[in-house]
Amino acid sequence: MGITDSLKGAMSQATKKATEYAGSHKSQIGAGLDKVGDMADKATKGKYKSKIDMGRSKAKDAVNKMGGPQETIQGEATEKPADAASDQKPEDQ
């Protein structure tokens, strides 16, 4: 196992833990996003309100998708490939 494989494994674990954390703290993250959005809106004196609101909404949607019943990290296979079943030996007829 090379260093690349070790790094991939560490990143996978970190991503999974971050996803679980975000999934279990959705309300706190949502409140933080609201606070940051309000601060940004105030700092820009409302000039970019629609863009800030859109970004806040997209960030909340992303957080809401995290940590649900499906704990699959994007890019991982969720099912065995169809040809994996053909690797089994057929019974003698």
DSSP 92: P
**pLDDT at residue 88 above 60?**
no
Matching residue, tokens 């057929």: 90
**Which uninterrupted H or E stretch holds 53?**
helix 49-65
Residue 53: what pLDDT? 94
pLDDT (0 to 100) of residue 91: 53
Give the model confidence (pLDDT) of 5-43 as tens digits. 888 889 998 988 888 887 778 888 889 999 999 999 999
Residue 37 tokens read as: 């959005």
Confirm whether pTM is higher than 0.75: no
